[in-house]
Amino acid sequence: MCYDIASATLAKLKYAQHRADDPEYIKQIEDELKKISASLHPYYTVNGFAHPGLLVFTNHQPYLPQVFSWGLIPSWSRSLDEAIACSQLTINARGETIFTKPTFKQSARFKRCLVYADGFFEYFHFNKQAYPFFIKHPLGDPLIFAGLWDEWVDQSTGVLYQTCTIVTTVANPLLKKIHVKPGLEEARMPVILNKSEQDIWLQTSIDEQDSSLINPLLKPYSDQLLAHTVKKLKGKQAPGNSPEAIMPFEYPELALLGI
């Protein structure tokens, strides 16, 4: 599951260096990031249901940073109502079925992207309370999620909607430990790609129909991640969209659990 993420502006320039090795590409990406910075709001925490604009690199323009709304709207949507209703249910896409589900099939084959984030949140449930953990890269590098994108034009207004979804897979050991909830059978996590996997994910030109290169990428992240509890993301005591949202915050009642 991946419904809450962080993606703050200060880190955005750093993202450029992770997308490219060539200094010329890095410069190009940084320049473009400055241009689109007005639409790249800093998110220390943001929920998928708010459909924020996320920083993506698509297979069509692998070195062009773009802002796509979170919650995929398929190109065949027939009305704004239908499109909005759909986007509530396409915040995530199950990696196991992206090549078969009608909503994702075309995107899985032709419209893949990288979604950049500082980290994501997952809840640990204890005593009927939900304790949010922030999960991030040990060195503070961006986490790069496997994403799908699509474009839909509202025929009644002519407005173009560029949207994306984050692909999920089964949880790795760390996320299994965090994502504990009574009755929960299968914990999940976003697909996080390393450098070489990112390049493969964006390679849709070789054989568009061949999923055998892509399916091996849809697995739990095996490198190290860091996790710590943070203040509640929502509700009266929540710090809201501020740096405090991702700062470590201890819950005394969890101290003895060894979490």
List residues near DNA by CB under 7 A: 1-3, 47, 49-50, 74-76, 78, 86, 88-94, 97-98, 100-106, 123, 125, 130, 168, 179, 181-188, 232-236
Least Cβ distance, residue 118 to DNA (angstroms): 20
Taking the least distance from each CB to DNA, the nearer of 11 and 168 is 168
Least Cβ distance, residue 181 to DNA (angstroms): 5
Enumerate long-range contacts of 173-181, CB under 8 Å, 24 or more apart: 174/135, 174/225, 174/227, 175/122, 175/135, 175/220, 177/259, 178/122, 178/123, 178/124, 178/133, 178/135, 178/227, 178/259, 179/1, 179/122, 179/123, 179/124, 180/124, 180/125, 180/126, 181/123, 181/125
Least Cβ distance, residue 103 to DNA (angstroms): 4
Q: Six-digit token pair at 257? A: 């659990």
Least Cβ distance, residue 189 to DNA (angstroms): 8
Taking the least distance from each CB to DNA, the nearer of 39 and 88 is 88
Taking the least distance from each CB to DNA, the nearer of 16 and 204 is 204
Taking the least distance from each CB to DNA, the nearer of 68 and 121 is 121
Least Cβ distance, residue 187 to DNA (angstroms): 6
Taking the least distance from each CB to DNA, the nearer of 16 and 189 is 189
CA distance 13 to 9: 8
Using CA atoms, how far residue 82 sits from 72, 157, 243, in Å, is 12, 15, 35
Least Cβ distance, residue 151 to DNA (angstroms): 13
Q: In 3D, which of 149, 172, 160 has the Cα closest to residue 224?
A: 172
Taking the least distance from each CB to DNA, the nearer of 68 and 120 is 120
Q: For helices 23-35 and 9-19, give the axis angle rounded to 10 degrees.
A: 150
